[in-house]
Amino acid sequence: MKFKRIFVIVMDSVGAGAAKDAAAYGDEGTNTLNHASYSLKEFKIPTLESLGLGKITDINNTRSDIEAKASYGKLEEMSVGKDTLTGHWEMMGLDVKVPFPSFTEHGFPKELIDKLEAEIGRKTIGNYAASGTEIIKVLGPEHMKTGAIIVYTSSDSVLQIAANEAIVPVTELYSICDKARKICSDNPKWMVGRIIARPFIGTAPDNFVRTANRHDYSVSPSSKTTLDYLKKAGYDVIGIGKISDIFNTHGITESYHNESNHNGMEHTIYCADKDFTGLCFVNLVDFDSKYGHRRNAQGYAKCIMEFDNDLSELLKHLRDDDLLMITADHGNDPTHTGTDHTRENVPILVYNKNIVSKDLGLIHSFSSIGKTISNNFGVKSTQNGNKINIKLK
């Protein structure tokens, strides 16, 4: 059977256990789903349980001895790294062999910072690795007084720029980030995966709050992806959340910006209720940005429960010729040391109202998602991954 619409929902950072090479990343023993769920006594995810998530890894209050409504398994990443770009790009067929540069230890080179300041006409402060919520508390007052923008990084390949919306209008911050993107892309040594605009509001450290006006400026994918081939063939490619940013708009025909995971699921349900043919690709980032990096295990657990509730509603809107795939792009174990992503295998749930449930085991390469999509719509595919075996009743 050919599915008319395929929905891929990425639970950003919801890993399902350490990958075989986790030790090389300092991530032995990590398991985002397991550790987050056991942090909360009242943890309960009946919808994900019914699909078979508890059969993938041990999850608090989640049964494994049920007849699942979906096929279930894990995906193993073949790309280097453990970040957003590599995870999503691999899902759509790319194999990232060379990691993007990071500047965690010493910050960004003086030459880069000098060029940025000259280009934007503002000074910068910060230039070190930090939590985004913490650095605006520390440097926010100086920024408010001087107008200097806050530049910082993390363990990811990112250059983040924070500014108060009352001091630097969002449109100006976006322009600054666009210029930073061009500067970094002109030098291979500086070509970070993403430049991220981080606007915030408030008048003092105790009430500074980041807004939903975040915007990512990614490098373009290194070659064509499943999204490009779908678009070229005339199919709809709907990006919800960060998807358009992650692929630098390549292959996207329609895009929706999320203010939260819940808002992202509202967008997904809206799309499920309209007539389209092709792919709806969804990223839900709150797991990662609000709870994983901040090592808030209970908040992470509650976030999964909220998604489970929203998912129960989405399932009511899916049609007989729809296919739903739920997965993640990496881990971010909220009980692990540091604040970085974790190198984990990720869950994969494949659902249709008439699917014959199957244990998919450990599938090599996230690209199997893209291969399955390409095969369904009969478009050109990349060389990576194998089609996931789907059997209907």
Q: Which two tokens stand for residue 263?
A: 């808002």
Do 124 and 153 reside in the same domain of the chain?
yes
Could you give the residue ranges of the DSSP H alpha helices within 188-260? 226-232, 243-246
33: enclosing H helix or E strand: helix 32-37
Do 146 and 23 reside in the same domain of the chain?
no
Do 247 and 364 reside in the same domain of the chain?
yes
Rounded Cα distance between 260 and 347, Å, is: 22
Give the end of a domain, one of 189, 218, 247.
218
Is the predicted pLDDT of residue 167 greater than 90, yes or no? yes
Do 272 and 162 reside in the same domain of the chain?
no
Task: Grade residue 385 by pLDDT with cuts at 50, 70 and 90.
Answer: very high
CA-based end-to-end distance of the chain: 11
What is the dihedral angle through the alpha carbons of 200, 246, 368, 327, rounded to the nearest 10 degrees?
Answer: 10
* Model pLDDT, residue 1: 79
Is the predicted pLDDT of residue 121 greater than 90, yes or no? yes
What residue has token string 């759509």?
92
* Model pLDDT, residue 99: 84
Give the end of a domain, one of 184, 218, 252.
218
Do 226 and 210 reside in the same domain of the chain?
no
Give the end of a domain, one of 218, 248, 266.
218
Domains of the chain: total: 2
Do 249 and 359 reside in the same domain of the chain?
yes
CA distances, 356 to each of 31, 109, 283, 327 (Å): 28, 55, 26, 19
Phi, psi of 163, rounded to the nearest 5 degrees:
-155, 145
More confident residue, 297 or 132: 297
Do 198 and 63 reside in the same domain of the chain?
no
What is the dihedral angle through the alpha carbons of 253, 222, 284, 22, rounded to the nearest 10 degrees?
Answer: 160
What is the span of the domain harbouring residue 265?
5-96+220-377
Task: Determine, yes or no, domain membership for 390.
Answer: no
The predicted-structure confidence for 54-82, as pLDDT tens digits, reads as follows 999 999 999 999 999 999 999 999 999 89
Task: Determine, yes or no, domain membership for 232.
Answer: yes
Q: Which two tokens stand for residue 310?
A: 């929203």
* Model pLDDT, residue 105: 86
Do 348 and 372 reside in the same domain of the chain?
yes
Rounded Cα distance between 5 and 224, Å, is: 21
- Vertex 32 angle, CA 93 and 328, to 5°: 20
Cα 314 to chain centroid distance, Å, stands at: 20
Do 169 and 251 reside in the same domain of the chain?
no
Is the predicted pLDDT of residue 197 greater than 90, yes or no? yes
Do 77 and 124 reside in the same domain of the chain?
no
Do 257 and 351 reside in the same domain of the chain?
yes
Task: Determine, yes or no, domain membership for 271.
Answer: yes
Mean pLDDT across the chain: 96
Task: Determine, yes or no, domain membership for 391.
Answer: no
The predicted-structure confidence for 235-253, as pLDDT tens digits, reads as follows 999 999 999 999 999 999 9
The predicted-structure confidence for 262-272, as pLDDT tens digits, reads as follows 999 999 999 99
Task: Determine, yes or no, domain membership for 263.
Answer: yes
CATH at residue 130: 3.30.70.1250
Do 211 and 236 reside in the same domain of the chain?
no
Neighbours of 209 (CB within 10 A): 9
Rounded Cα distance between 175 and 172, Å, is: 5
Task: Determine, yes or no, domain membership for 21.
Answer: yes
Task: Determine, yes or no, domain membership for 143.
Answer: yes
The predicted-structure confidence for 262-319, as pLDDT tens digits, reads as follows 999 999 999 999 999 999 999 999 999 999 999 999 999 999 999 999 999 999 999 9
Spatial CB neighbours of 263, under 8 Å, sequence gap ≥ 6 = none
Task: Determine, yes or no, domain membership for 359.
Answer: yes
CATH at residue 288: 3.40.720.10
User: 3-state DSSP: the chain helix, strand, coil percent, rounded to 5?
Assistant: 35, 20, 45
